[in-house]
Amino acid sequence: MVLLVVAIGVLGLLIGSFLNVVIHRVPAGESVIHPRSRCPQCGTELAARDNVPVVSWLLLRGKCRTCGTGISVRYPLVELGTGLLFAAVAWWCGATWQLPAYLYLAAISVALAAIDLDVKRLPDAIVLPSYVVALVALLVPAVVDGRWVDYRTAVLTGLGLFAFYFLLAFIYPAGMGFGDVKLAGVLGIYLGFVNWQLAVLATFVAFLLGAVIGLVVMVRSGQGRKTKVPFGPFMVIGTWVALFWGQAVIDWYVGSLGG
pLDDT at position 108 is: 97
Indicate whether 1 pLDDT > 80.
yes
Write the pLDDT tens digit of every residue in 68-79.
677 789 889 999
Q: Do the Cβ atoms of 103 and 89 come closer than 8 Å? A: yes
pLDDT at position 103 is: 98
Quick one: pLDDT band at residue 53, thresholds 50, 70, 90?
confident
- Interval 96-108 mean pLDDT: 97
φ, ψ for residue 63, nearest 5 deg: -135, 150
Indicate whether 145 pLDDT > 60.
yes
Indicate whether 41 pLDDT > 70.
no
> Model-level pTM?
0.92
pLDDT at position 52 is: 78
Q: CB neighbours (10 Å) of residue 215?
A: 12
Write the pLDDT tens digit of every residue in 157-213.
999 999 999 999 999 887 788 999 999 999 999 999 999 999 999 999 999 999 898
- Interval 90-113 mean pLDDT: 97
Quick one: pLDDT band at residue 62, thresholds 50, 70, 90?
confident
CA 170 – CA 64 distance, rounded (Å) = 47
pLDDT at position 256 is: 75
pLDDT at position 129 is: 97
Write the pLDDT tens digit of every residue in 115-135.
999 999 999 999 999 999 999
Please state the three-class secondary structure of the chain as a single string. Answer: CHHHHHHHHHHHHHHHHHHHHHHHHHHHCCCCCCCCCECCCCCCECCHHHCCCCHHHHHCCCECCCCCCECCCHHHHHHHHHHHHHHHHHHHHCCCCCHHHHHHHHHHHHHHHHHHHHHCCCCHHHHHHHHHHHHHHHHHHHHHCCCHHHHHHHHHHHHHHHHHHHHHHHHCCCCCCHHHHHHHHHHHHHHHHHCCHHHHHHHHHHHHHHHHHHHHHHHHHCCHHHCCCCCHHHHHHHHHHHHHHHHHHHHHHHHHHHC
pLDDT at position 206 is: 96
Distance of CA 119 to the CA centre of its chain: 16
Which of 9-13, 53-57, 131-135, 167-171 is least confident? 53-57
Indicate whether 64 pLDDT > 90.
no
- Interval 132-155 mean pLDDT: 97
The partner residues of 63 in beta bridges, in order of sequence, read: 70
pLDDT at position 29 is: 87
- Interval 146-155 mean pLDDT: 97
Letter for the amino acid at 197?
Q
Domain ranges of the chain: 1-95, 97-259
Average pLDDT, the chain: 89
